[in-house]
Amino acid sequence: MPTIVIDPITRIEGHLRIEAQTDANGVITQASSSGVMIRGIEIILKGRDPRDAWAFTQRMCGVCTSSHSIASVRAVEDALQYPIPDNARIIRNLINGAQYVHDHVVHFYHLHALDWVDILSAQNADPARTAVIQRRISPDRTTNNTADYFAGVLSQLQSFIASGQLGIFTNGYWGHPAYKLSPEVNLLAWAHYLEALAFQREAAKVQAVFGGKNPHPNFVIGGIPGAFSGAGETRLDAAGLAIVQSVITTMQTFVDQVFLPDTKLIASFYKDWATHGEGIGNFLCVGDFPLRPTCGNGNSGNGQGGGNPKPCGPGLAPDSLIDPNNLYIPRGVILNRKLSKIEPLDLNDPAQVQEIVSHSWYDYTVGKDTPLHPYSGETTLHYTGPTPPYQNLDVASSYSWIKAPRWRGKPMEVGPLSRVLMLLATQNQKALQLVGQTLGALGLGREHLFSTLGRVLARTIETKLIADEMPVWLSEMQSNIAAGDVRTHNNALFDPSTWPTSSRGAGFLEAPRGALAHWVVIDNGLISNFQAVVPTTWNASPRDNAGVEGPYDASLKGQALFDPTKPLEVLRTIHSFDPCMGCAVHMVDPDGKELIRVSVQ
C-alpha cells in the first residue's frame, strides 16, 4: 500500500512524524505517529533537590511555559503534604488561566488556522465586503471593522505576496480544493492573524507580573515567589495588580469579539469536518483550577467549625492541599462517549494510569510488554530504529520515543474536548449554555463534538469559560487582601530537615493541550524517581502491547485524501490536537521515493 510520510510535525516535546498507509482510493487504512526526539528530563532530575524540579521540568516546553512547573511543584507538595496559602492557589489559577487564553489564541490563529484559511486567496478580497462580515459576526467590536482598515491589511498582504518572499508561508497548500472560505473571509482571518501577534504579547504579562518573567516564570514549593507590597516595593504592588486586571479585560474582549466569532464563522464553512477524525471515544481529565477551600464541619479556618461546608469567606481560608473533588474542571474518565457516567481517576492507584513501551524505544527491567505505574516508571533508552536518514520506520516493532499511557488498559484522549465533555457531564451551566449556543448556531448536535471540528470548537469554548472565570479569581484575591490576608507562601516545610525520609506524590495540571501529571519519589531529601505523563504522551502514543492505537493514529483511520502529495486532511486532524508544523514535510511513494519536499525557511 502507498505510504505517506510527514516528518516532522512539531509538537511541544519536539518533532512528530506521521506515517500513513493508504488504499488505492487514497483512504488511510493505518496511521503510525512517532516521536522522533527524546526529552530525558526524568533522567536529569534523579539525585536533585525536589525544590528545584520546577526549574528543570518547565524546560520540557517553551509554549505552555508554566504548566510543567506547576505540576512538579504540586507533585512535591503532595509528597510532603505541604499546604499553601489561598492567595497562592488563586495566583496559580490566574497564571494557568492566562496560559490557556494565550496558548489557545496562538494555536488557532498561528498554528491551525492556515489548515482552513487560504492566504493567497485573500489577496483577491473586497475590503468593503470583509468589513460587512466583521460587523455582522461581531457587532460589539468598534475598532478594526471598517473598509479602510481591511484595505490597509489587504495592501500589506498584496505587497508581501508580490515580493515573492513568503517566508514561513512558502510551499503552503494554497489553492487546495479542500479550502472553502471566500477571499473576504480569508482576509478577515489574515487580519486577525496579525492582531493575535500583538495580543499574545499582552497576554504574557500576567505570568510576568506573578512569575517575574515570561517565558519560564519563577515558582516555589509552598506558594508563589512574590509578596504583596506598597507602591514600587515588589511587582505585586497596586500597579502590578492593575496590569493583571487590564490584561484580563483585554483577554475577554478579544475572545468575545474576535476569537469566538471567527471560530463559528470558519466552522460554518467546514461542518463536514464534524464527522471526521473522532479517534478513540475515551476521554480523561486530571482536573484543575482548585476552588476556594470549604469552611464548616471543623474545617472553618476561622476557628468556629460546625455547619455545612461552604467556600471560606475572604481572608478566612486556611493553608490547604488541593482537594481533587473541588476543582473548576472536574477530574474523571469518560468511556465510549458516555457522558452519563464518570469513572473516578486516582493518580496514586497502580492499576489505573500505566505506561507501556512495547512499541517505544525504551526497555523495562520487567519486560517491554509489562505496564508500569509512574511511581515505578523507568526511563531506560534503547533505540532500535533505523539509522537516519531513513525512508520508513518498522511500525511492527518499536517506532517512537513516546510511551503508551493507558487508563485501566484503555487509550485516552486528553485536551480541550475532554475538558468540555467533562464540564457537560457534570452539568456546568455556563458550559451547557455556551456549547448549546455554539452548536445551535452551526446546526450541529452534541454528537458532532466527537470530531476534528469538535476539538476546534471545544478549544474556543473553554477559552471563553476560563477567561470569564479569571475576574472571579482575581476578585477573590482582592477580597483576601482587603480582609488582611496577604500571605503568598508557607515556609513551614521548605527546609528538608522537616521532611520524612521517604515520600512520594503526584502533581497534576490541565495544561492547554490536555491532562498533565508528574510523579515524584523522594528519598533522603533527593529525587530518586521522577516521571511525567504529558498531553502528547496520551494523544500521540504508539500502539500498546495489545496492538491498540492511540488517539492520533485512530483519528486518521478512514480519512480520504484528495491529493496524497498535499495531505491537508492529515494536518487538519493532527493539528486539532494542537501540534505545531515545523521545518519540513516529506512525501514518499510506495517505493520510498520522495514525491515532494516542503521546506520552511
Question: pLDDT by residue (tens digit) across 248-303?
Answer: 999 999 999 999 999 999 999 999 999 999 999 999 999 999 999 998 753 333 33
Question: Would you say residue 230 has pLDDT above 90?
Answer: no
Buried b / exposed e along 286-313 (16+ C-beta atoms within 10 A): bbbbbbbbbbbeeebbeeeeeeeeeebe
**d(C-alpha 64, C-alpha 161), whole Å:** 32
pTM for the structure as a whole: 0.94
Strands 502-511 and 404-407: unpaired
Q: What is the DSSP letter of 401?
A: S
pLDDT tens digits, residue range 27-83?
Answer: 999 999 998 877 688 999 999 999 999 999 988 877 778 999 999 999 999 999 999
- For position 412, what pLDDT does the model report? 98
Residue 13 has pLDDT above 80, yes or no: no
Report the run of H or E that residue 374 belongs to, with start and end. Answer: none
Higher pLDDT, 39 or 571: 571
**Is it the case that residue 244 has pLDDT exceeding 90?**
yes
CA 237 – CA 89 distance, rounded (Å): 18
Output the pLDDT for position 600.
Answer: 30
State the Cα–Cα distance between residues 522 and 505, nearest whole angstrom: 9
Is 199 within 8 Å of 205 (Cβ atoms)? no
- Ramachandran bin of 334, using left for φ above 0, alpha for ψ from -120 to 50, beta for the remaining angles: beta
Identify whether the C-beta of residue 311 lies closer than 8 Å to the C-beta of residue 475.
Answer: no
Cis amide prior to 471 (ω within 30 degrees): no
- Those residues with Cβ within 8 angstroms of residue 16's Cβ, 6 or more apart along the chain or in another chain: 8, 9, 10, 33, 34, 35, 36, 536, 540, 574, 579
Q: How confident is the model at residue 582 (pLDDT cuts 50, 70, 90)?
A: very low
Residue 517 has pLDDT above 80, yes or no: yes
| Residue 478: per-residue pLDDT | 96
- pLDDT higher than 60, residue 601: no
Look up residue 572 and give its DSSP letter: H
How much of the chain exceeds pLDDT 70, in percent?
A: 93
Mean pLDDT across the stretch 355-368? 97
Q: What is residue 211's DSSP assignment?
A: H
Lowest mean pLDDT among 28-37, 279-288, 478-487, 504-513: 28-37
Instruction: State the Cα–Cα distance between residues 285 and 98, nearest whole angstrom.
Output: 19
Instruction: Give 592 or 383, the one with higher predicted confidence.
Output: 383
* Cβ within 8 Å of residue 242, ≥6 positions away: none
526 φ, ψ to 5°?
-130, 160
Model pLDDT for residues 549-568, shown as the tens digit of each residue? 999 999 999 999 999 889 99
pLDDT at 332: 98
C-alpha cell at 59: 524546560
- pLDDT at res. 98: 97
pLDDT in tens, 386-441: 998 899 999 999 999 999 999 999 999 999 999 999 999 999 999 999 999 999 99
Which range, of 180-189, 384-393, 432-441, 471-480, averages the lowest pLDDT?
Answer: 384-393
Q: How far apart are CA 122 and CA 593, in angstroms?
A: 34
What Å distances lie between residue 23 and 3, 41, 233, 263, 275, CA to CA? 9, 40, 67, 33, 20
Which residue, among 349, 291, 288, has the nearest Cα to 320 in the 3D structure?
Answer: 291
Given a cut of 80, whether residue 118 has pLDDT beyond it is yes
Please report the domains of the chain, with CATH numbers, ordered by start residue. Answer: 3-113+200-291+326-561 (1.10.645.10), 118-186 (no CATH)
Flag whether pLDDT at 348 surpasses 70.
yes
The answer to whether residues 311 and 593 touch, using CB atoms and an 8 Å cutoff, is: no
**CA gap 366, 363 in Å, rounded:** 9
